[in-house]
Chain A
Amino acid sequence: MKTNDVILQTTTKLIFFIIILFSIHIFFAGHYAPGGGFVGGLLTASGIVLLLLAYDIKTVSTALPINYTVMTAIGLLVALATAAGSIIFNVPFFTHAFDYFDLPLLGKQSLHTAMLFDTGVYLVVVGVTMTIIQSIGADD
């Protein structure tokens, strides 16, 4: 029997954006407050898992056409490139740098290369979690 999930699906449409926004907030707040790439990545993955619970796996992969294995590889490359970039400037491997910039709209902000490394962590966490869940969930 086909069941009627209209309440769950409508709520998911609304809640998904709150979860994604909160995960982005946690990701960017990681330097000065609790949070960072790992927790942000897990929150994003849980938002996509909520979509998978409310809809089927085909709908979600058409809505978000992402190859999560490639995403993991890109994340590892970004992290490695950030760590290796310091060699060019003749400082030890994994040395980070930061400076203050005057950005339009945002004002004076400090940009840190640790953020790029965190981006790598974020991509790897989202990619690995979604690969595990999709390969367990897909039975056809």
Chain B
Amino acid sequence: MTMILANILIGVTVSLGVIFILVTAIGLIRLPDIYCRTHAASKSATLGVMFILLGVFLHFWLIEGIVNTRIILGIVFLFITGPVGGHVIGRSAYLSGVKMWDQSVKDELAPVIAERKKLDEQK
């Protein structure tokens, strides 16, 4: 009975992870500009891989009886680095002048960067 419950838990977590990664892939194709795409890629891919790793951890723990701390470390590592990767990609794209989607309504970073550039010219 506990084996069936464990298998259901593992199946659900791994399936959820795969669904999140599928959503990421669809988002990468469907979304209009790089900022929306990094939004899709960094958030839901991180969550998807974390769910899959959690499923793997549960499988080895509940079925095989091995506690593999490297998977926990991997989950923590991905949780920290995935969003930061998305942030760095988006920021470098903005600073190198990639245009936003033409229906975007707000650009709060533009005045800050214009002010910085003006300060640089004065020096």
A residues lining the B interface (CB < 8 Å): 1-3, 7-8, 11, 14-15, 18, 22, 25
Contact = CB atoms under 8 A, between A and B. Distances in A.
B117 interface: yes
Q: Is the contact region of chain B dominated by helix, strand, or loop, or is it mixed?
A: helix
Size bracket of the B interface? 10 to 19
B116 interface: yes
Given A1-B113, A3-B95, A25-B70, 13 more contacts: A1-B116, A1-B120, A2-B116, A7-B84, A7-B87, A11-B80, A11-B81, A14-B80, A15-B77, A18-B73, A18-B76, A18-B77, A22-B73
Contact of B80 (A1, A2, A15, A25): A15
Contact of A11 (B73, B84, B95, B116): B84
A1 B77 contact: no
B63 interface: no
Contacts of B76: 18
Contacts of A7: 84, 87-88
5 contacts: A1-B120, A3-B95, A8-B88, A14-B80, A25-B70
Given A1-B113, A7-B87, A8-B88, A15 B81 contact: yes
Contacts of B73: 18, 22
Interface string B87-123: 1100000010000000000000000010011001000
Nearest to B76: A18
Contacts of A15: 77, 80-81
Contacts of B120: 1-2
A41 to B, nearest CB: 19
